[in-house]
Amino acid sequence: MADGLTIPRTSTPAAGVRAPSVDIYAPQWRNFIFVAPFLFFFTTLLIFPLLWGMWLSFHKADTFSSGNFVGLGNYIRLFNDKVFLQSVWNTFYFVLLTVPTLALIGLFLALCLNRRTRTAAVLRTLFFSSSVLSVTIVTLIWRIVFIPNVGLLSTIYGWFGATAPAFISDPSLAMIGIAIATVWWCIGLPMMLFLSALQQIPQDIYEAAALDNANRWQTLRSITLPSIKRTFVLVIIIQIVLQFQLFGQAWLMTRGGPNNLTKPIVLYIYDTAFRRWDLGMGAAASEILFILILIAAMAQYLVARNKADQA
């Protein structure tokens, strides 16, 4: 015990302080038993399906059988399918609508609510609370906001004798409606990430700035924003990965319509694989999505690692 106190955190016995007669950190097969249960599920339910999915994407397959090898056939059909290309475009459009909005509002809220007052704590709780709801509840709430006649929006517009924009049925507004509901649902996470970054900025820098009579705008521009630059990039990438997976909101609010204009890639996969039962083509579409998300995830890994290096 005393040994542990005088030499804190020198963990390896190789340091020469005390050399155990048995090397307790030597590789041993029996130690494998601790990781074996997880690895069993990991291999059978993640790695194997991942490989099977790639294999399926080169075959014409339905529910129970994996039929004939078609090579790149599914991928060629995919890129000739206007609906698929539309869904890729829709997904990018949705990401473009939501990600910058989430990052900017999240940053704004974090800057305003980064103080130790009771009001700030209550507001942080409020802005994060929507994140714990399920997509079903969120879409129910927003459909009742947007719905004509009894909707909140049309009621408010009605007070001024105006007609509310049709956020669900108007082709040019439908995706924006889904984006609004999504920002409302997801705003908690970027806010919290920015808050934790702000709290890591050393307070003495601000004190020095205050002594130099820096005004708030100068402090924000030359101290706060540069210190959280990396967090900003991280938030953007995390949100890109998350929003690329759009499914529930589009499926429950618009069913992908009107005219497939709000159909994202995941909904295309769902339609193709589980409603038209063309599993091969569904698998091919999910490989494309996988590649897109993998690129974003790699970027996240690189940014996160750089951050760790600097700390």
Partner 1 sequence: MSAPATSIKGRAFGDRVLLALVILLSIVMIAPVLWVIGLSLKENAELMADPNSVFHAPYTLKNYLNTIGTSSVFLWVGNSIIVSGGLTIGTLVLSSLAGYGFARLNFPGRNVLFVIVLFGLAVPEQAVLVARHQIFSILKFHNTYHGLILPGLSASFGVFLMTQYFKAIPKELDEAAMLDNASRFRIFWKVLLPLTVPAQATLGIFTFLGAWNDYLWPLISATKKDMYTLTVGMASTQTNFAQSEGIGFLMAQAVFAGAPILIVYLFFQKYIVTAVSGAAVR
Shortest Cβ distance from residue 88 to partner 1 (Å)?
14
Shortest Cβ distance from residue 218 to partner 1 (Å)?
10
Shortest Cβ distance from residue 34 to partner 1 (Å)?
3
Task: Using the minimum distance from each CB to partner 1, give the nearer residue, 168 or 175.
Answer: 168
Task: Using the minimum distance from each CB to partner 1, give the nearer residue, 24 or 163.
Answer: 24
Shortest Cβ distance from residue 155 to partner 1 (Å)?
5
CA 7 to CA 14: how far, in whole Å?
Answer: 14
Task: Using the minimum distance from each CB to partner 1, give the nearer residue, 173 or 214.
Answer: 214
Shortest Cβ distance from residue 76 to partner 1 (Å)?
18
Q: Phi-psi category of 134—alpha, beta or left, where left has phi over 0 and alpha has psi -120 to 50?
A: beta
Q: Phi-psi category of 104—alpha, beta or left, where left has phi over 0 and alpha has psi -120 to 50?
A: alpha
Task: Using the minimum distance from each CB to partner 1, give the nearer residue, 105 or 173.
Answer: 105
Task: Show Cβ contacts of residue 70 under 8 Å, excluding neighbours closer than 6 positions.
Answer: 58, 59, 60, 280
Shortest Cβ distance from residue 280 to partner 1 (Å)?
9
Cα–Cα distances in angstroms (integers) from residue 276 to residues 245, 259, 282, in the given order? 20, 18, 9
The helix/strand/coil state of 41 is: helix
Shortest Cβ distance from residue 238 to partner 1 (Å)?
5
Q: Phi-psi category of 214—alpha, beta or left, where left has phi over 0 and alpha has psi -120 to 50?
A: beta
Q: Residue 299 has which token pair?
A: 């970027």
Task: Using the minimum distance from each CB to partner 1, give the nearer residue, 79 or 255.
Answer: 255
Q: Residue 193 has which token pair?
A: 């990430």
Task: Using the minimum distance from each CB to partner 1, give the nearer residue, 93 or 128.
Answer: 128
CA 81 from chain centre, in angstroms, equals 27
Task: Using the minimum distance from each CB to partner 1, give the nearer residue, 176 or 304.
Answer: 304
CA 278 to CA 42: how far, in whole Å?
Answer: 26
Task: Show Cβ contacts of residue 135 under 8 Å, excluding neighbours closer than 6 positions.
Answer: 185, 248, 249, 252
Task: Show Cβ contacts of residue 89 under 8 Å, excluding neighbours closer than 6 positions.
Answer: none
Shortest Cβ distance from residue 44 to partner 1 (Å)?
8
